[in-house]
Amino acid sequence: MLDALSGWQPEEDVWVYGYGSLIWRPEFDFAEKRAALLHGYHRALCLWSRVNRGTPDQPGLVFGLDMGGSCRGMAYRIPAADVPTTMEALWRREMPSGAYIPRWLNCRTEQGLISALAFTMNRNTDAYVRGLSTERLISIVRNAHGTYGPCVEYVLETAQALKRSNIQDKRLQTLVLALHNAIASDT
């Protein structure tokens, strides 16, 4: 955390970029929230979850901010006075392993360009996964369950939060449709 905040001045507010559960469950107070577009990264189910949304024997998948493309998400402004406490809690949540690399990235908002701290995917960890077929993704998401609940709930909550925020994610929408179809075929 200290490395990521090394250039931070105590009188400066800090922006944090959210692309997954931070959109629907930020778990911190913020002074402002803005829709934000990030270039160079995209939202992907590319991170094995062996605790929160799965187990070591049956891992689930959660979203990571993977290289390439662009991603629409939300940026949260944390008041300067709250930065130390908020960042400590955010670090415990987002950085318990080496799965993410925190980076300061430029995000476009309607009010202008901002620099926000984003938790990007570390492709050099065994928690990183890519190249799964849609069928395999659906199977993993439907069957995994961890301490925070079912993986399918996480994916659907994220999709609903994006919809409420008027954020389009065609890959996620396609996956959600396939999930609904698979669930409907079981009944």
Of 11, 51, 26, residue with least CA distance to 119? 26
Q: Residue 59's closest CA among 137, 172, 121?
A: 137
Tokens representing 28? 């911190």
Is residue 25 in some structural domain?
yes
- Per-residue pLDDT, averaged over 4-16, amounts to 85
pLDDT in tens, 49-101: 999 999 999 999 999 999 999 999 999 999 999 999 999 999 988 988 889 99
Residue 55 belongs to some domain of the structure: yes
Domain assignment of residue 1, yes or no? no
Q: What is the model's pTM?
A: 0.93
Q: What is the pLDDT of residue 140?
A: 97
Bridge-based pairing of strands 60-78 and 14-18 is: antiparallel
- Residue 90 maps to a domain: yes
Does some domain include residue 4? no
Output the pLDDT for position 63: 96
pLDDT score for 158: 97
User: 126-169, pLDDT tens digit by residue?
Assistant: 999 999 999 999 999 999 999 999 999 999 999 999 999 999 99
31 pLDDT more than 70: yes
7 within domain boundaries: no
Altogether, the residues listed in the chain come to a count of 187
Mean pLDDT of 101-130: 96
Strand ranges in the chain using DSSP code E only, listed in sequence order: 14-18, 32-49, 60-78, 100-109, 112-121, 145-146, 149-150
Domain range for 176 is: 14-181
Which CATH number do you get for residue 28?
Answer: 3.10.490.10
Domain contains 157: yes
179/134 Cα distance (integer angstroms): 10
Please, which pLDDT band fits residue 2 given cuts at 50, 70 and 90? Answer: low
Q: How many domains does the chain have?
A: 1
One-letter amino acid for residue 23 of the chain: I
Q: pLDDT at position 187, please? A: 66
> What pLDDT is recorded for position 4?
75
Q: Worst-scoring range by mean pLDDT, 29-38, 44-53, 96-105?
A: 96-105
Q: Give the pairing of strands 112-121 and 60-78.
A: unpaired
Say if 6 falls within a structural domain: no
Residue 182 has pLDDT above 60, yes or no: yes
